[in-house]
């Protein structure tokens, strides 16, 4: 290896270029990687990899995936939005005309004031969206501005992990339930349950840590309806599970453990609540315990492997073997991914997984894993918001997924619809300002419905969209504000779910055309609203990065250099190596009396009195249960729509970002993935155009026949840009034409993977390749 | 004579293609020109067991560039003598001499030479010779998130990783004597009985 230089000599072909080390313009993949960006004459020419010496598990290189490696194609894309524009056709027709920034700022300020004055600030909404994880840009900039002029309707939770973030605390009282990843090297068994770090990147290097654990002797088993890239490269065994049945499988595993005496009775006695009749909480002494449910004492249905086999499509012998392995090979990690909780009763699989970790005694020990969302011990890990937002005068918040409800019937929405901070919203949403977000059209459940709602100009009276490209959401804008990319402004990034680093995203090139940073756009609007000094506090983008670095130094990283020092070193990042990985709940494990959990009982709540008191046992039981989904292969809907559809994450995109980058689509073309056993009876051959439809919509896309997806399941990678033809059939493969706007009962989360559909060959057969 | 080559840990390769994109970015490759290709090999089917489904399939990935063979058939087949083997074993194409006849493309059993339509010449992996002469690593090797690629003197690679240079459905090593070491995936052993094929033809 050559000496690592702060400012290396450019290689042949890049004469005159200089190198800037920078964070990958993180959107909402799970990674935060380091890129080496070669720049000449204001243009990005090449991107190299992290070259820090060592590459040890305590401080591994942050190597970018294909998306980061392809970033210059997005940066130098011909379709970048160039100028502010206003709508001239009907909403959604995508007919615009160029205007000046002066007019754009003025329009934006005027509409914020007029809507606020007519309907109140609760009618103004900046939707969920993760297009920018540059922490001093993105949607936070708009929120900060609105808070200075009356506020806006807030939201809570996310489209990623609403159920897991809501259900984990019902068991543990907190979402900080994970060990630092270096601790995976201490595990003897790792169950990757619905978890696919190789494709969705659940933290840069998560796949590398699993590899390292395996090298140290851990057995790795992957449970997923797809044989994912993770299943191929990381696991010793892949076991398919029918989508939406994880809680049934977990219950049957518990049955085997209980009836074969494999549960950790001592740990259950000392650390858990509600496992059996002997430890029920006050006020629920005679209610159904977890053991009662598993053994079928009340409902007459023992949750045996034989019971779970027809539900999960997993052989009963395999279920029993898996249960014995997890209960006896210790310490063990049962890592819960997020796909299985973006489902009808996603809360149940989350709670059931946490309970399995508890009854096997895998909580609070090195090499173990408590389950749940598993934010990183000891401090919860990275921060995803750093720009100070100020105080929002509007206290009401809605679940992020229920924005379309708040457009249609916000005035009547209250706690029954998940509203917090107010008894009633009292108004519908009338102004939407979508910043770095493609949620409104592309990523929400049931695209066709979303498009109908937003096309009605009497509902949302003003819709501003701020983005880099003409996304499907941008096509519905009244006012289009061209944001620059993250290579064109200053920013800072923190590791995503895991990470002991702060990564700098310096301004590398000038904003393209007339585009501006999210921050500069908001500052321009702030000037029109007369609040610019309060908004900027005299700082530019770099000034806020400096502020953020100071903040990190005061909170997580006292030894971090200053921004000036980091910039001078051109290192791009500060990292704190992890040599002694933290273990969640270690104190509680050692002494549960002295270190109780933040649950009502201070213990691991296998039975949740709080959930019991909601008195909705059919949908929100007090102990985790398998509940048949509202669209399922076992319901009457399966007659017309017999196939389950999952919209998995693919490496060609981060959600909907990069869908317009041909180089990525060449690597991973958008396809329907279908098992030959489902294709044969339909006369479908590999490469055919296939129509997939249900009551909500239809798409046509070439099919890839593969045995890597289980029979009865179609996989359509989520995030493709909605492209309807004249008949309304999507031609690009946006799975959300099939998904539903229905939310989960407890978390008010999206259940977009719970859908059924039918498939048939479309038109003329495609060319076989 | 020295002989540089590649190692690919097929057991650890997820098929993520960071290597292929790093190669494309470094070498400014136009669409369709793929100096490094990641083959998804798959075969087999599913068995009903009671009311359950049991997969009996074999799936793995092979990330293959140019193997800088000791018997390069591309070189032998080039009527313009545009292909040469350097002292360090790297096989290179001289674009000034290349006629664009594409004979080398037909000759190479690995699909390494790739035709650049716009330039009218054949192109291929040069093991990032310019980088490694400066002490660096090939872009693909440096890029791999799984650390599944390596390069170096082929004898050193063989000492470190073994001598396997074949995996279904790659050609027999004796044909070209590739400077390649493969650590096979566990499924490679059952690939033939599972009638495994390249499943991502349109991507490679």
Long-range Cβ contacts of A282-291 (<8 Å, 24+ apart) = A283/A609, A284/A607, A284/A609, A284/A612, A284/A622, A287/A607, A287/A612, A287/A622, A288/A622, A288/A623, A289/A606, A289/A607, A289/A623, A290/A254, A290/A355, A290/A606, A290/A607, A290/A623, A290/A624, A291/A258
Rounded Cα gap, residues A333 and A330, in angstroms: 9
Q: Which of B14, B45, B55, B201 to mutate to test the interface with A (most CBs of A within 10 A)?
A: B14
pLDDT at A767: 46
Q: Which chain A residues touch B30 with a CB distance below 8 Å?
A: none
Contacts of A669 in chain B (CB under 8 A): 202-203
**Residues forming beta bridges with residue A480, ordered by sequence position:** A85, A465
- Rounded Cα–Cα distance for residues A8 and A54 (Å): 19
Give the three-class secondary structure for A514. Answer: coil
Which chain A positions have a beta carbon within 8 Å of B14's beta carbon?
198-199, 207, 229-230, 232-234
B21 and A48 in contact by Cβ < 8 A? no
Residues 275-334 of A with CB under 8 A from B: 309-310, 312-316, 318
Q: What is the mean pLDDT of residues A391-395?
A: 98
Q: Residue A339 to residues A357, A674, A675: CA-CA distances in angstroms?
A: 19, 18, 20
DSSP annotation string for A152-169: -BEEES-TTTHHHHHHHH
Mutation target to probe the A interface, by most A beta carbons within 10 A, among B8, B15, B16, B41 is B16
Contact B192, B41 (CB under 8 A): no
From the number of C-beta atoms within 10 Å of its C-beta (0-12, 13-18, 19+), residue A33 rates as buried
Confidence band of A579 (pLDDT split at 50, 70, 90)? very high
Average pLDDT in the A431-435 region? 98
In A, minimum Cα distance to B20 occurs at: A66
Q: Are A625 and A612 in contact (CB under 8 A)?
A: no
Contacts for A5 with CB less than 8 Å, ≥ 6 apart = none
Cβ-Cβ contacts under 8 Å, A704 against chain B:
199
Q: What percent of chain A has pLDDT above 90? A: 93
Q: Do B203 and A233 touch (CB under 8 A)?
A: no
- Taking only residues 425 to 484 of chain A, the set having a beta carbon closer than 8 angstroms to any beta carbon of chain B reads none
Helix (H, G, I), strand (E, B) or coil at B42: strand
On chain B, the residues whose CB falls within 8 A of the CB of A315 are: 49-50, 52, 54
Q: Does residue A662 sit at the B interface (CB-CB below 8 Å)?
A: yes
The predicted pLDDT at position A27 comes to 87
Backbone angles phi, psi at A42, to 5 degrees: 75, 15
One-character DSSP codes across A536-594: HTT--HHHHHHHHHHHHHHHT-TTPPPHHHHHHHT--EEE---SS---TTHHHHH-TTT
How far apart CA A402 and CA A425 sit, in angstroms, is: 13
Q: Please name the helix (run of DSSP H) or strand (run of DSSP E) that holds residue A112, with its range, or none.
A: helix A101-119
A385 pLDDT band (50/70/90 cuts)?
A: confident
> How far is B28 from A584, CA to CA, in rounded Å?
46
Chain A interface test: which of B62, B145, B149 (most A C-beta within 10 Å)? B145
Nearest to A479 by CA among A110, A28, A79: A110
- Inform me whether the pLDDT recorded for A1 exceeds 60: no
Q: Which letter does DSSP use for residue A182 in this model?
A: G
pLDDT greater than 80 at residue A54: yes
B26–A48 C-beta distance less than 8 A: yes
Residue A284 CA to residue A263 CA, distance in Å, equals 23
- pLDDT, mean of residues A479-501: 92
Q: Is some CB atom of chain A closer than 8 A to the CB atom of B190?
A: no
Considering CB atoms only, which of B17, B31, B50 is closest to A309?
A: B50
Q: ipTM of the predicted structure?
A: 0.97
CA gap B9, B161 in Å, rounded: 9
Give the closest-approach CA distance of B131 to chain A in angstroms: 7
Residue A491 has pLDDT above 80, yes or no: yes
Residue A498 has a pLDDT of: 86
List, for residues A85-104, the tens digit of each pLDDT value: 999 999 999 999 999 999 99
DSSP 3-state assignment of A239? strand
- How many other C-beta atoms can be found within 10 angstroms of the C-beta atom of residue A93? 12
DSSP single-letter state for residue B16: -
User: Residue B3: how many CB atoms within 10 A of its CB?
Assistant: 18
Confidence of residue A2 (pLDDT cuts 50, 70, 90): very low
Query: pLDDT at residue B159 above 80?
Result: yes
Question: Which residues of chain A neighbour B43 with C-beta distances below 8 Å?
Answer: 707
Note whether A79 and A469 are within 8 A (CB): yes
Q: What is the pLDDT of residue A764?
A: 60
Report yes or no: A553 at the B interface, CB cutoff 8 Å. Answer: no
Question: Which of A359-363, A499-503, A540-544, B27-31 bottoms out in mean pLDDT, i.e. has the lowest?
Answer: A499-503
User: In Å, how far is A662's CA from the nearest CA of chain B?
Assistant: 8
E strand or H helix at A392: none
Q: How far apart are CA B39 and CA A667, in angstroms?
A: 11
A663: helix, strand or coil: helix
- Per residue in A115-137, pLDDT (tens digit) is 999 999 999 999 999 999 888 88
Give the separation between CA A388 and CA B83, rounded to whole angstroms.
61
Interchain proximity A667–B17, CB inside 8 Å? yes
Instruction: Give the pLDDT confidence score for residue A768 in this predicted structure.
Output: 43
Determine contact: B12 vs chain A, CB below 8 A: yes
Using DSSP's 3-state secondary structure scheme, residue A741 falls into coil
Distance from CA of A220 to the nearest CA of B (A): 13
Question: Has residue A769 got a pLDDT over 50?
Answer: no
pLDDT digits (tens, 9 = 90+) for A295-354: 999 999 999 999 999 999 999 999 999 999 999 999 999 999 999 999 999 999 999 999
Given this model, what pLDDT does residue A608 score? 98
Give the distance, in angstroms, between the CA of residue B119 and the centroid of all CA atoms in the same chain.
23
The string of pLDDT tens digits covering residues A457-469 is: 999 999 999 999 9
Total CB pairs under 8 A between chain A and B: 152
| CA distance linking residue A225 with residue A629, whole number of Å | 16
Checking if the pLDDT of A244 tops 90, the result is yes
Nearest CA in chain B to A702: B202
Option in B12, B53, B143 nearest A711 (CB): B53
Q: For residue A381, name the pLDDT band (cuts at 50, 70, 90).
A: confident
What's the CA gap between A558 and A567, in Å, rounded?
18
Phi, psi of B99 (to 5 degrees): -95, -10
Percent of chain B predicted with pLDDT > 90: 97
Please give the model's pTM, rounded to 2 decimal places.
0.97
Q: Is the pLDDT of residue B1 over 80?
A: no
- Other beta carbons less than 10 A from residue A448's beta carbon: 18
CA distance B33 to chain A (A): 11
pLDDT of residue A384: 79
Tell me which residue in B55, B60, B145 faces A207 most closely, judged by beta carbons: B145
Q: Do β-strands A43-49 and A462-467 pair in parallel, antiparallel, or remain unpaired?
A: unpaired
Percent of chain A with pLDDT over 70: 99
* C-alpha span between A428 and A411 (Å, rounded): 5
Q: Which of A13, A65, A232, A315 to mutate to test the interface with B (most CBs of B within 10 A)?
A: A232
A189 alpha carbon, distance to own chain's centre: 26
- Given this model, what pLDDT does residue A190 score? 98
CB contact under 8 Å between A233 and B14, yes or no, is yes
pLDDT average, residue stretch A553-559 = 92
């Amino acid at each position: 290896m050559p000496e690592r230089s702060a400012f290396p000599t450019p290689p042949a072909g890049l004469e005159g270029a200089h190198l800037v080390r920078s964070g990958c313009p993180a959107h909402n993949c799970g990674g935060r990687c380091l890129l080496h960006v070669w720049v000449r004459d204001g243009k990005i020419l090449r991107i190299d990899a992290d070259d820090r010496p060592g590459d040890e598990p305590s401080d591994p290189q942050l190597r970018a995936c294909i998306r980061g490696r392809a970033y210059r194609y997005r940066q130098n894309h011909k379709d970048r939005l160039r100028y502010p524009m206003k709508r001239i056709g009907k909403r959604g027709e995508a007919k615009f005309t160029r205007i000046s920034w002066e007019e754009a700022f003025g329009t934006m300020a005027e509409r914020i004031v007029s809507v606020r004055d007519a309907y109140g600030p609760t009618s103004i909404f900046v939707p969920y969206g993760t297009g920018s994880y540059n922490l001093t840009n993105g949607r936070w900039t708009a929120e900060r501005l609105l808070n200075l002029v009356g506020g806006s309707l807030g939201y809570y939770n996310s489209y990623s992990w609403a159920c897991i973030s809501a259900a984990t605390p019902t068991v543990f009282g907190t979402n900080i339930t994970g060990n630092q990843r270096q601790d995976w090297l201490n595990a003897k068994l790792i169950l990757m349950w619905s978890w696919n770090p190789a494709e969705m990147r659940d933290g840069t290097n998560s796949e590398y840590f699993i590899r390292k654990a395996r090298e140290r002797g851990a057995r790795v088993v992957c449970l997923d309806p797809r044989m994912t890239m993770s299943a191929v490269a990381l696991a010793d065994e892949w076991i398919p599970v029918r989508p939406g049945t994880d809680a049934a499988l977990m219950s049957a595993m518990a049955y085997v453990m209980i009836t074969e005496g494999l549960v950790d009775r001592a740990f259950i006695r000392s650390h858990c609540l509600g496992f059996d009749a002997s430890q029920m909480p006050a006020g629920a002494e005679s209610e159904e315990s977890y053991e009662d449910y598993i053994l079928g004492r009340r409902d007459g249905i023992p949750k045996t492997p034989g019971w779970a086999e027809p539900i999960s499509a997993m052989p009963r012998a395999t279920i029993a073997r898996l249960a014995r392995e997890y209960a006896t090979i210790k310490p063990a990690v049962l890592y819960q991914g997020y796909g299985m909780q973006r489902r009808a009763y996603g809360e149940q699989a989350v709670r059931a997984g946490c309970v399995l970790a508890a009854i096997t005694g895998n909580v609070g020990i090195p090499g173990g894993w408590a389950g749940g969302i598993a934010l990183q011990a000891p401090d919860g890990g990275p921060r995803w918001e750093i720009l100070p937002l100020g105080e929002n005068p509007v206290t009401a918040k809605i679940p992020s997924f229920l924005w379309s409800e708040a457009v249609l019937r916000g005035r009547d929405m209250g706690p029954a619809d998940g509203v917090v901070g107010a008894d009633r919203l009292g108004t519908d949403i009338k102004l939407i300002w979508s910043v770095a977000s493609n949620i409104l059209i592309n990523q929400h459940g049931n695209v066709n419905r979303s498009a109908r709602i937003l096309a009605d100009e009497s509902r949302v009276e003003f819709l501003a969209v701020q983005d880099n490209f003409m996304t499907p959401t941008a096509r519905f804008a009244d006012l289009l504000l061209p944001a620059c990319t993250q290579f064109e402004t200053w920013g800072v990034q923190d590791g995503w779910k895991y990470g002991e680093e702060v990564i700098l995203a310096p301004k590398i090139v000038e904003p393209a055309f007339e585009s501006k940073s999210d921050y500069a756009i908001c500052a321009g609007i702030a000037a029109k609203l007369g609040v610019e000094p309060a908004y900027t506090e005299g700082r530019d983008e770099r000034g806020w990065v400096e502020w953020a670095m100071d903040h990190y130094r005061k909170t997580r990283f006292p030894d971090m250099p200053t921004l000036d020092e980091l910039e001078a070193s051109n290192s791009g990042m500060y990292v704190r190596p992890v040599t002694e990985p933290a273990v969640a709940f270690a104190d509680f494990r050692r002494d549960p009396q002295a270190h109780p959990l933040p649950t009502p009982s201070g213990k691991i709540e296998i039975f949740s009195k709080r959930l019991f008191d909601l008195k909705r046992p059919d949908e929100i039981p007090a102990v985790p249960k398998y509940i048949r989904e509202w669209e399922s292969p076992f319901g009457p809907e399966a007659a017309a729509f017999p196939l389950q559809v999952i919209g998995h994450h693919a490496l060609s995109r981060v959600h909907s970002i990069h869908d317009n980058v041909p180089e990525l689509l060449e690597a991973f073309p958008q396809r329907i993935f279908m098992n030959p056993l489902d294709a044969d009876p339909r006369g479908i051959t590999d490469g055919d155009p296939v129509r997939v439809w249900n009551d909500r919509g239809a798409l046509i896309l070439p099919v890839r026949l593969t045995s890597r997806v289980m029979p009865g399941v179609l996989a359509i990678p989520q995030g493709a840009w909605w492209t309807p033809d004249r008949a309304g059939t999507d031609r690009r493969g946006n799975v959300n034409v099939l998904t539903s706007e229905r939310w989960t009962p407890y978390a008010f989360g999206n259940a977009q993977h719970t859908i059924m559909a039918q498939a048939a060959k479309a038109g003329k057969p495609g060319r076989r390749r | 004579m020295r002989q540089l080559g590649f190692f690919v840990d097929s057991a650890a390769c997820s098929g993520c293609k960071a290597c292929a994109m790093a190669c494309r970015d470094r070498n400014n490759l136009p669409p369709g020109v793929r100096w490094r290709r990641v083959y998804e090999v798959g075969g087999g089917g599913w068995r009903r067991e009671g009311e359950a489904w049991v997969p009996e399939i074999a799936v793995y990935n092979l990330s293959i560039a140019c193997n800088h063979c000791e018997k390069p058939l591309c070189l032998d087949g080039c009527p313009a003598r545009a292909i040469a083997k350097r002292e360090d074993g790297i096989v290179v194409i001289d674009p000034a001499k290349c006629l664009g006849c594409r004979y080398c493309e037909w000759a190479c059993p690995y699909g390494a030479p790739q035709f650049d339509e716009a330039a009218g010449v054949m192109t291929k992996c040069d093991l990032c010779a310019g980088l490694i002469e400066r002490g660096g690593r090939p872009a693909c090797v440096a890029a791999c998130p799984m650390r599944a690629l390596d390069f170096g003197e082929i004898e050193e690679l063989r000492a470190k990783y073994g001598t396997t240079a074949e995996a279904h459905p790659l050609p027999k090593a004796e044909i070209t004597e590739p400077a390649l070491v493969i650590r096979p995936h566990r499924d490679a052993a059952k690939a033939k009985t599972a009638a495994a094929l390249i499943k991502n033809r349109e991507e490679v």
